[in-house]
Amino acid sequence: MARICVPVCVRHIDELPDAMNAAAAAADIVELRADCLAAAEAASLWQTVGDQKRPLILTLRSPEEGGHSAIDFETRRRFWTALKSLPEGSLIDLELDLVTEFSRGDSAETLPVEWRNVICSHHDFERVPDNLPATFERMAATPAGLIKIAVHAADAIDCLPVFDLLDRAQQQGHQLIAVAMGQAGVATRILGPSRGSFLTYASYNQESGTAPGQLKAVDLRDVYRIDRIDRDTQVFGIIGNRVSHSLSPHIHNAAFAANDLNAVYIPFEVHDAVEFLRRMTHPKTRELDWDLGGLSVTAPHKSIVMQQLDWIDSACREIGACNTVVVRGDQLLGYNTDAAGFIAPLREALGTIRDTRCAVVGAGGAARACIWALTHEGADVTVFARDESSAEFLAKALGVNAEPFPASDFAGFDVVINSTPLGTQGERENESIATAEQLRGVRLAYDLVYNPSETRFLREAQTAGCHVLGGIEMLLAQAIEQFKLWTQTQPDVNVMRAAAMCKLS
């Protein structure tokens, strides 16, 4: 089983018991961050902690490496020498400068634990430094029993040096904790233990994380099934430059579990899709030894990935966008399941789409997939976009009409489709492409935004008397097609829907 360490970081010592109990309920190991406490309270923390249900790691992090207190080297040194005893089996986490100080042959000071229970740690919250292997070798040369290296990942490809360190540590017989911090480093937190990391860090709730990119422990166990991941686990994921709120990991991991597949689906924060496909995806060029089976592709990479694929289907070619990559043999195959995912719920709602008058608002990749699917069903389509030149270009490419946005009203249209981000959870959540007055007489309003499940646009449409379709329907329909392409099996649709709705709620 993977070891999950949950840090506890509270300001006042009277908060410790409840926080420690919450962490212990979610963790295999609890890290007590003494640097979070007020200085006067840190020295008496053991009297408050009492008997623990889980092994402990005691940490007093320096401010240069992410500590929460302005403590200098001398204060840190005195803190450790003043501790005469620790709960049996405890580990302590010391930065490399302190490990060097205490391991000097002429040092008269001793630590309250044996060296085998010391973690020698190094943190870089800005980047992945070029000298990482040299830093590892310096740490490996100390008497510390464990090594911890945590660096900041700006792109998912920054996980590669971290996975390389884990391979190096195993070859040399060292125990290593290796983490790429930040959303781009999430893969190291999920896959690290299966690749030799001594433990992985997680939070016990959404607010208690102590480093960027930490997942909740319950999600590591229940969503990603970290205890079942091994070197044979097939890896899938979503690539985009904003994927932390994606529902796809919840949907696909639930389906993998229901079908009893040794597979995991991971969010990859990717800014350079070409490099990700070259260095981490394509079997001929990738630098990581893993069984990567396929990818979902989201904005802004749906077009750029096509230049790296060995084969694409006709929908990809005609739409100009790929949202699904399948790794088969030594080739990358590209598909577009957005179009099929978009049209299936609409066909079910209307019965027939032929000759239906449809207004598509937006001119991006999602709009292209919608228009392509609608025209193949025989609908009469008009595209509306704030950028008139984009609307006209798209209309000409796909053989439909174009009109400037916003429209005075949508009278005369049977269906109005929002393919823009307006209404998505966040700063634009209260915006809508149309008011109730503009939507009067429209038969159905279809919003591709799925979070929140009921958008401002859908509320306006209901006020106008329209039937409505939310983006969750398209998300599920396209995910079903992806799952079948990747696994050659049929997913449990009810399980996928339940996972999506649970996360949204």
Cβ 297 vs Cβ 323: under 8 Å = yes
Separation in Å, CA 405 to CA 139, 409, 411: 60, 10, 14
Do 237-336 and 339-469 agree at the fold level? yes
Strand partners of residue 332: 327
What pLDDT was estimated at residue 245?
Answer: 86
Cβ 136 vs Cβ 146: under 8 Å = no
pTM (2 d.p.):
0.93
Distance between CA 308 and CA 300 in Å, rounded?
Answer: 15
- Does residue 111 register a pLDDT over 90? no
Question: What strands lie across the sheet with 234-240, from one edge to the other?
Answer: 263-269, 234-240, 291-297, 324-328, 331-335, 311-312
Residue with tokens 């490809």: 157
Q: What is the mean pLDDT of residues 129-136?
A: 96
Strand partners of residue 109: none
**pLDDT-based confidence at residue 25 (cuts at 50, 70, 90):** very high
Question: What strands lie across the sheet with 444-447, from one edge to the other?
Answer: 401-404, 380-385, 357-361, 415-418, 444-447, 467-469
What pLDDT was estimated at residue 354?
Answer: 96
Express each pLDDT in 265-296 by its tens digit. 999 999 999 999 999 999 999 999 999 999 99
Express each pLDDT in 375-399 by its tens digit. 999 999 999 999 989 999 999 999 9
Cβ 271 vs Cβ 242: under 8 Å = no
- Write down the CATH number for the domain with range 237-336: 3.40.50.10860
Question: What strands lie across the sheet with 146-152, from one edge to the other?
Answer: 175-181, 146-152, 118-124, 91-95, 56-59, 29-33, 4-8, 200-201
Provide the b/e sequence for 4-19 (b: ≥16 CB within 10 Å).
Answer: bbbbbbbeebeebeeb
Cβ 89 vs Cβ 112: under 8 Å = no
Express each pLDDT in 56-66 by its tens digit. 999 999 999 98
Catalytic residue among 53, 216, 284, 302: 302
Per the prediction, the chain carries an average pLDDT of 93
Express each pLDDT in 3-15 by its tens digit. 999 999 998 888 8
- Does residue 108 register a pLDDT over 80? no
- Does residue 50 register a pLDDT over 60? no
Distance between CA 52 and CA 32 in Å, rounded?
Answer: 12
3-state secondary structure of 273: helix
End-to-end CA distance of the chain: 30
284 is catalytic: no
- For domain 339-469, which architecture applies? 3-Layer(aba) Sandwich (3.40)
Q: How many helices (H) and strands (E) does the chain have?
A: 19, 20
Poorest-pLDDT segment among 36-45, 169-178, 440-449: 36-45
Q: Domain 4-229 sits in which CATH superfamily?
A: Aldolase class I (3.20.20.70)
Please spell the DSSP secondary structure of 369-407, one letter per residue.
HHHHHHHHTT-EEEEEESSHHHHHHHHHHHT-EEEESS-
What pLDDT was estimated at residue 47?
Answer: 60
- Does residue 39 register a pLDDT over 80? no
Q: For the chain, what are the domain ranges?
A: 4-229, 237-336, 339-469
Provide the b/e sequence for 197-211 (b: ≥16 CB within 10 Å).
Answer: bbbbbbbbeeebbbb
